[in-house]
Amino acid sequence: MKISLLSDAPKHNLALMKISAWHKAGGDTVTLNMPIFHADYTYASVLYDRNTKRFIADEYGGPVFNNSCLSVEIEQCGPDYSLYPLDFSIGYTFRPCFNSCGFCKVPKMNHPDVKHHSIQEFLNPKFKKICLLNNNTFQDPDWKVTFQEIWDLDLIVIDENGYDLRLVDDEKADALKRTKFQGYIHFAWDRIQDEQLILYGLAIAQKHKLRATVYVLIGYDTTEDQDFYRCQKIIDHGFTPYVMPFRRNKLLKRFKRFIDSFMWRKYKTLKTAYENYHP
């Protein structure tokens, strides 16, 4: 059979990599993102709502579709690393996140299990880097096992999804400090009501001298003053805020451009910098 895989994923798509591995094991021919390819069967994995009607396929999946899930046979396959030009292993050691945040699609997805998995299930021995797609590593009761495997294999971690700052303590911060990362560790401060836990986590991360960027969700349920407050607290602890607008309007886009400009570094406070911001 000729199999066509379509996706709007900008870098990689683990589901398609597993689908490819499963079909190739059965002797099928697989192509990626070739719409004019005359296939016997086509899969479309869609990440962004705006692309829901972009592809014509026999089977659809991805975060835009509720309860999207691979079959057990395909889920258990290792990724086909020939599908994308990657130089790192990619996969999950723990899939779920139990926080049920209203702005997040993770709680709406049908996870195949809530078990801990070994890195060995998806490790490509050719690569010295690993990209963990875990939605909340520190909610895994066996999170220490994951870090021990990383250290034993001397792997460099590419952190795309980040770590839950509300769960950070000295033991977890020490584990992050001992781990080799490509670039910065990622945290997030999405909700103002989490302030007490977030500030405690920031203080712990600062004490352990972690190199981190903190995502800040704006335009969902916070005011401009609360956005300024969160970003200022992040900066006061020695970290860099990265603003992520939930909605797009002129005010929110201006605030993001302001934070991304880093011109505020010349001023004592963000509010003073914003008063002098003239893009």
Mean pLDDT of 136-152: 97
Q: Angle 183-189-190 (CA atoms, 0-180°, nearest 5)?
A: 120
271 and 187 belong to one structural domain: yes
Question: Is the residue at 169 inside a domain?
Answer: no
The number of domains in the chain is 3
Quick check: is 82 in a domain?
no
Q: Is residue 78 part of a domain?
A: no
Same domain, 64 and 118: no
- Do 137 and 93 share a structural domain? yes
pTM for this entry: 0.90
Same domain for 211 and 278, yes or no, is yes
Same domain, 17 and 67: yes
| Whether residues 213 and 276 fall in one domain | yes
Q: What confidence tens digit (pLDDT) does each residue in 233-275 have?
A: 999 999 999 999 998 899 999 999 999 999 999 999 999 999 9
**Single-letter amino acid code for the residue at 158:** I
The answer on 96 and 181 residing in a single domain is: no
Residue 256 lies in domain? 177-279
Residue 107 has pLDDT above 70, yes or no: no
For residue 108, pLDDT over 80 is answered with no
Paired residues of 89 in beta bridges: 130
User: What percent of the chain shows pLDDT beyond 90?
Assistant: 78
Say whether both 237 and 186 belong to one domain: yes
- Give pLDDT tens digits for 53-87: 888 889 999 888 877 888 889 999 999 999 999 99
State how far the alpha carbon of 216 is from the alpha carbons of 150, 181, 193, 234, in Å: 28, 21, 13, 9
